Structure 1
């Protein structure tokens, strides 16, 4: 109960502050899920960070109960358990079938089978301080996973040059939370609380740096394997301006000047001129796309 004891005022202060900041961190994805609710689609968002966060909350509650009722750890992780459960339920409601199946599989493996196995092994195979040590290192491992999980979106940020799916508020709150919980862990002399938050602080800074770097970049469309590529030589299109024949204009305006930059096959040029002559009478110039690898002519 060192965290709540007024004999350790700084530990109490950082524990309370850690609860406040971590609660705000849990609430940071609310705009994301409001967007999902409004669009009725999960779009490019992933469920993995929320499933991993839920599992971490379950583990820390178990650890806090085994280690003499660490109240600050119980309160914040109980709140996190409820909030993450709501997020996951919303994801199930609006995710496509493939996303639902994937989320159900990882929850079955991690939150049901994984947590059940940890529960059985620690309760049956370990006693006293050894049980606390074993649970402590398991919590460290999965706390690191919580900090790493949002980094799965970093590849997407780099590829698309867009920070749309990496909110700055979440990265900032994760960083502040890591700093406060690291200090709390030091003050109560609990290395299992302090250690993972060193990595949490590092990852948070990396995410904020990426956000600052890409926030003003022009997004790149990545709809397919050929998106964003320039056309190859055999797929190039030539824009040809063909003067339209019109009786309302002087005779010299109907002259067609040959294109010398990129030669167009005679048949294509003749077809383009014919299409231009048949076009509407209120345009003086007809823009024609001529495909190099096809005789088709597209009037725009």
Structure 2
């Protein structure tokens, strides 16, 4: 009796969960039809998605199939439904994608600076590719100009940083390019140093 009751309650729980998460379909259908999110907020649906992800994860270690199947299907469904919000909510989509793009662009243009310390210490540009620095400067300069002309902050902002960084790399290259490959200690010098250290120990 106890097992049957347990099973029945589990089935009813899954059934009502399906109905709960199917309820927003009418809202999403309206969004698609009008091609606008109007005053609807996507926050409840995003939270519902995270809730399903957590309970799907919770059900995996103990292998409770009934607990995994429904949340798994709901995760897929809500993800598909939220995509309609993303597609039709142009303002928030621009802010979100623009913010992510800004961070990624700044990271991309700043990444060659990792070797700047090595260039300054060794006074060699062997490990700082010239063409990467050159085209980084040119691309960021053109996109900075385009972003400023089109009054697009998300496009101009990362390039306002990327252009000077690219120029700085070119300055380093011009300064140290004649040094060529960083000189390695000669074998004879190393042997002499080893002999001196042995004599000191004795």
Q: TM-score, normalised on structure 2?
A: 0.47
Structure with higher helix content:
2
Structure with higher strand content:
1
